[in-house]
């Protein structure tokens, strides 16, 4: 029996207007992915990142705009500080800081998008299942 790796991507709608592209890219690699659109990456809170890791996710990735392109001016900068705070929490917990990832890219930058998808896939596969998350019920496990 093999436990599926769950990835949750919290994606700024400005940076990631077509989430289905991200979902398709990672499903091809055999990963279970869900993209959650956010009005701005700064809406992502520390408790959401930790709660996702506690309940279902093996890897949580946030996608935002480059700092100088953020529509809400400080959104991406705030996100970076919050993510660092959440990673400090993970270090205290004894879980890898790398289970929280971040990419800042412009919506039209296809190259950066491809790089991000590769980084997410590689990170998810190298970290594997998060030992701190709730276990899947038996029906959800996959061969």
Partner 1 sequence: MIVGTRKPLAELQEMVKPYRRLLLVGCDTCVAESASGGRRETSELAAALELAFRLAGMDKDIRETCVDRQCIHEFLLEVVEAAAEAEAILSLACGAGVQALAARLPETPVLPALNTQFIGETAERGLWLENCRGCGDCVLGLTGGICPVTRCAKGLLNGPCGGARDGLCEINLAKEFNPPVPCAWLQIYDRLNSLGQQERLLEPMAPKDWSVGDSGGPRRVLRPDQRP
What does the binding site for partner 1 look like in residue numbers (CB under 8 A)? 45-47, 50-51, 53-55, 89-90, 92-95, 131-134
The structure tokens listed for 94 are 């004894």
The residue among 90 and 124 lying less far from partner 1, judged by its C-beta, is: 90
What is the DSSP pairing of strand 100-104 with strand 59-64? Answer: parallel
Q: For residue 50, give the nearest of 109, 9, 14, 90 by alpha carbon.
A: 90
**CA-CA distance, 23 to 33, in Å (whole number)?**
6
The residue among 4 and 47 lying less far from partner 1, judged by its C-beta, is: 47
Residue 6 Cβ vs partner 1, minimum distance, rounded to whole Å: 15
Backbone φ, ψ for residue 81 (5° rounding): -70, -40
The residue among 77 and 106 lying less far from partner 1, judged by its C-beta, is: 77
The residue among 16 and 52 lying less far from partner 1, judged by its C-beta, is: 52
Length of the chain equals: 143
Residue 28 Cβ vs partner 1, minimum distance, rounded to whole Å: 30
Residue 132 Cβ vs partner 1, minimum distance, rounded to whole Å: 4
Residue 79 Cβ vs partner 1, minimum distance, rounded to whole Å: 15
**CA-CA distance, 125 to 138, in Å (whole number)?**
22
């Amino acid at each position: 029996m093999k436990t599926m790796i769950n990835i949750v991507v919290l994606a700024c709608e400005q940076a990631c207007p077509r989430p289905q592209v991200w979902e398709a890219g990672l499903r091809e690699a055999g990963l279970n992915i869900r993209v959650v659109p956010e009005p701005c990456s700064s809406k992502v809170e520390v408790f959401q990142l930790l709660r996702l890791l506690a309940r279902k996710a093996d890897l949580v990735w946030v996608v935002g705009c480059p700092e100088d392109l953020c529509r809400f001016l400080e959104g991406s900068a705030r996100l970076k500080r919050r993510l660092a705070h959440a990673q400090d929490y993970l270090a205290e917990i004894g879980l890898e800081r790398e289970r929280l990832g971040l990419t800042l890219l412009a919506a039209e930058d296809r190259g950066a998008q491809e790089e991000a998808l590769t980084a997410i896939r590689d990170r998810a596969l190298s970290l594997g299942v998060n030992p701190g998350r709730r276990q899947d019920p038996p029906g959800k496990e996959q061969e």
